[in-house]
Structure 1
Amino acid sequence: MLSGLRWLALEAKYLDRAREFYTTHLDLSVVRESDGEVVLDAGGANLVLREPGAVPRGGVHTHFAFAAPPDRYDEWHDRLAESFDLAEFDFGGAKSLYFYDPDGNCVEIGGVGDGDAAITDVFEIVLEVEDLARAESFYRSLDFEVVDRGEQRRRLRLGGPVDLELWEPQLGIADARGGLHVDVGFAAEDPAAAADAVRDDACAVAEVDGGTRVRDPDGHYLTFRRT
């Protein structure tokens, strides 16, 4: 149904400041710029920085993770430690480091990437949800599979490189929080069919250029565009 992540959008209070952060500290290159928006290349997907304005706005205090090749992890750690008070966690062989961008988003870099680039993809996005069972049911209808469960969280996998973490309100590692009104885009062979799978449970469904946009029960925006 869905075949991979196309973008994650974050709200930036000051666009120049956010652009500088991601291009300087993480070497992300600019794909394109327009009034109120900067699109950055994050490997397999794009990171979109968006000023407050039209809906969808982009997520706030969103915790998300970049994948880096395991042999580049120490390089990232040493480089970022010069500028940030890093938190680090070992997931049993795969390490991740955590730090914050100027808008309060918790950025993770995990040594799980496959490829030669310093950043290969976005491999995790955390969404805050009000009702965990309801949110799990919604995303399972889009063919996400539950791969891990906690008392207040679920981890779902699409089958591609990205996982969604659904969190009831809480603080995670490095005091990270799930994002609010997050805007994510997915590739889909049939965007209309993907929207139909959740139409009865969605807050809104609308046709957009090249696809279909759905608003989930917690106010997150999912856009499905043709592969």
Structure 2
Amino acid sequence: MLSGLRWLALEVKYLDRAREFYETFLDLPVREANEREVVFDAGEHTLVLRRPNGVPRGGVHTHYAFSTPKARYDDWYDRLSRDFDLVEHDFGSARSLYFYDSDGNCVEIGSTDEDGDPITGIFEIVLEVENLPEAEQFYADLGFETYNRGTSRKRVRMGGPFDLELWEPQLGIADARGGVHVDIGFDVDDPMAAKADVEGRSSAVETVEPGIRIRDPDGHYLTFVSSDSA
């Protein structure tokens, strides 16, 4: 059904400042830019920074995670600790560091067993939701599978094309928060089939140039793009 992550879009107040942040501290190459948005290559995925002058706007105070090979993790820590008060967490099989971008998004860099460039992709996105059971069912119907629940029962972690965390309003590691009105693009085998699975619970459905866009019950935008157009 959902075969991959295409993009994550964040809302920023000043494009120039946000672009400089991601170019300077994370070395992300710019694919394209205009007056409304800047599009970065982030490993195998795309990170979009977008001004709030249209819909979808992009996510606010979104916690998300980049992946890096384990051999490169210490280099990231040494480099970023010169400019940020990093928070680090050891998950046993992997380590992650956390810091904030210029618009208050909590950026995580987590070590993985894969090889490759310093940033290999986006492996986690956290969404804030109002009703956790309903949100969990919505994303389960899109093919995500729950494999971890927080001890407070106010968050779940789901596996799919990336790790999706759904949080009721709360603070996480490094005081991170789930994103609101986040815009995510998915590669899908059949956009019409994906839409049909959740159409009755989507607050908006429309056809857009890249594919089919829906809005989930919490106001997050999901765009289904045919994998053939990648």
Fold match (TM-score > 0.5): yes
Deviation by residue 1:54-107 (Cα, 9 ceiling, x = unmatched): 110000000000000001000000000001000000011210000000100000
Gap change, CA 1:146 and 1:135, over 3 Å in 2: same
Counterpart amino acid of residue 12 in structure 2: A
Question: Which of 105-114 and 40-49 deviates more?
Answer: 105-114
**Corresponding residue of 1:200:** 200
**Partners in 2 of 1:96 and 1:20 — Cα distance?**
23
**Corresponding residue of 1:88:** 88
Counterpart amino acid of residue 80 in structure 1: L
Q: CA RMSD in A?
A: 0.8
Counterpart amino acid of residue 125 in structure 1: I
Deviation by residue 1:100-136 (Cα, 9 ceiling, x = unmatched): 0010000000001522200000000000000000000
Tell me which of 152, 155, 178 is aligned to 2:154: 152
Q: How many pairs does the alignment contain?
A: 225
1:57-206 pair list within 5 angstroms: 57-112=57-112, 114-150=114-150, 151-158=153-160, 160=161, 162-206=162-206
Counterpart amino acid of residue 203 in structure 2: C
Counterpart amino acid of residue 154 in structure 1: V
- State TM-score, norm by structure 1: 0.98
Unpaired runs of 5+ residues, structure 1, are: none
Unpaired runs of 5+ residues, structure 2, are: none
- Is 1:125–1:163's contact at 8 Å kept on the other side of the alignment? yes
**Partners in 1 of 2:122 and 2:192 — Cα distance?**
25
- Is 1:192–1:211's contact at 8 Å kept on the other side of the alignment? no
- Is 1:67–1:113's contact at 8 Å kept on the other side of the alignment? no
Measure how far apart 1:36 and its partner are.
Answer: 1.1
**Partners in 2 of 1:60 and 1:117 — Cα distance?**
27
Measure how far apart 1:13 and its partner are.
Answer: 0.2
**Corresponding residue of 1:31:** 31
- State TM-score, norm by structure 2: 0.96
**Partners in 1 of 2:135 and 2:170 — Cα distance?**
16
Identical positions, percent = 63
